[in-house]
Chains A and B, each alone.
Chain A
């Protein structure tokens, strides 16, 4: 059995680790809350925008064609891989990276083999992975999570929209952790461009006045939808990251608690044993003197 002093040092080191993990858990919980509020406040805008878009499309005789909706043969594919900048969040990054490789191998095998599939990494962890495996890395963005707002999402969304229009990529997809709740993240593969419109429902359309014409209106609405989608993806991933970190740190804290309990037990046993031994020595000594 280890010496008393060694056990004591271990207990104190586990205790300080426990303090760190439990503090990280608190921080993650606070950030998660803040981010969840952002998701909640985006919802009314997203819903309304969807309503307006539906209203415009319902009123149109034939369906609408737009460069952002043109589904070309996917020669060049870009996968936007959303990870985190920091670790210590359980399987958060590993899971999403695995999914990215699965998608590359199963959905885009041809482009993958011919080197026409590249990755854009949002978050440092994804970028590190792509780099160390020498896959095609189209770009890296690590600062967006420092001040995550609609404006920064807009800039990124515009950049990708531009690259789609110029034909640099024929298809742009997301792979990210969708936020379900603090404990559950759903790894999601989602199309960004070309825009996929759901089948329009033919309901009783309200007789709106459209200003300007419907097609021009749609042309301004579709980029807005893309921006909202992009912002939502970033928010979801960021919230998931904090959720994952919170869970991981919670587990680490629990483990530390168990360890401390076990070590304290050991310590007490060792202490008892040494006291018993001492008493035996004294008694033995006294016995010998008689």
Chain B
């Protein structure tokens, strides 16, 4: 599945991933392959994702929104 992390100032990451963990408004949650379509707001915290190569990466965000549908995930984040 494809993940994009976008901020107003730049695109932080764009590429294939196998897992994304997000700081949802009501607690952390994960998106795996074939997740149902979801739109959720995010609070400040860490976005963790595992790339296709198996490397785990972390990005700090200061709140935002995530949209995921048909294995396309877009994180609209704001940094401090």
Residues on A lying within 8 angstroms of B by beta carbon are: 38, 41-42, 44-46, 48-49, 51-52, 55-56, 149-151, 206-212, 216-217, 220-221, 224, 227-228, 231
Measured between beta carbons, the chain B residues less than 8 angstroms from A52 are 39, 65, 67, 74, 76
Contact indicator B67/A55 (Cβ below 8 Å): yes
Contact indicator B39/A224 (Cβ below 8 Å): no
CA distance A52 to B66 in the complex (A): 9
CA distance A28 to B39 in the complex (A): 42
Report the interface size for chain B: residues with CB under 8 A from the other chain: 23
- Ordered by A's residue number, 28 sampled pairs between the chains whose C-beta atoms are within 8 Å are A38-B9, A41-B9, A41-B10, A44-B6, A45-B8, A46-B8, A48-B4, A52-B39, A52-B65, A52-B74, A52-B76, A207-B37, A208-B37, A208-B39, A208-B69, A209-B36, A209-B37, A211-B24, A211-B40, A212-B40, A212-B41, A217-B39, A217-B41, A217-B65, A220-B65, A221-B41, A224-B65, A228-B8
Residues on B lying within 8 angstroms of A by beta carbon are: 4, 6-11, 24-26, 36-41, 65, 67, 69, 74, 76, 78, 80
CA distance A229 to B6 in the complex (A): 16
Main secondary structure of the interface of B (DSSP, over half): strand
CA distance A220 to B9 in the complex (A): 19
Contact indicator A150/B76 (Cβ below 8 Å): no
CA distance A206 to B67 in the complex (A): 12
Nearest Cβ in chain B — how far from A290, in angstroms? 89
Nearest Cβ in chain B — how far from A229, in angstroms? 11
Shortest Cβ distance from B74 into A: residue = A48
Main secondary structure of the interface of A (DSSP, over half): helix
- Known interface pairs A206-B37, A220-B41; A48-B7 also in contact (CB < 8 Å): no
Contact indicator B9/A150 (Cβ below 8 Å): yes
CA distance A15 to B25 in the complex (A): 64
Contact indicator A56/B39 (Cβ below 8 Å): yes
Contact indicator A209/B39 (Cβ below 8 Å): yes
Measured between beta carbons, the chain B residues less than 8 angstroms from A210 are 38-40
CA distance A46 to B25 in the complex (A): 22
Contact indicator B26/A45 (Cβ below 8 Å): no
- Known interface pairs A51-B67, A211-B25, A211-B41; A45-B36 also in contact (CB < 8 Å): no
Measured between beta carbons, the chain A residues less than 8 angstroms from B24 are 211
Contact indicator B65/A221 (Cβ below 8 Å): yes
Shortest Cβ distance from A47 into B: residue = B6
Shortest Cβ distance from A153 into B: residue = B8
- Known interface pairs A51-B67, A217-B41; A45-B7 also in contact (CB < 8 Å): yes
Interface centre among B4, B24, B41, B78 (most CB of A within 10 A): B41
Measured between beta carbons, the chain B residues less than 8 angstroms from A212 are 25-26, 40-41
Measured between beta carbons, the chain A residues less than 8 angstroms from B37 are 206-209
From A41, A211, A228, A231, contact of B26 by CB (8 A): A211
Contact indicator B9/A48 (Cβ below 8 Å): no
Measured between beta carbons, the chain A residues less than 8 angstroms from B76 are 45, 48-49, 52, 224
Shortest Cβ distance from B7 into A: residue = A45
CA distance A216 to B11 in the complex (A): 26
Interface centre among A49, A56, A211, A221 (most CB of B within 10 A): A211
Measured between beta carbons, the chain B residues less than 8 angstroms from A221 are 41, 65
Measured between beta carbons, the chain A residues less than 8 angstroms from B36 are 207, 209
- Known interface pairs A210-B40, A211-B38; A42-B8 also in contact (CB < 8 Å): yes
Interface centre among A51, A208, A221, A227 (most CB of B within 10 A): A208
CA distance A38 to B10 in the complex (A): 8
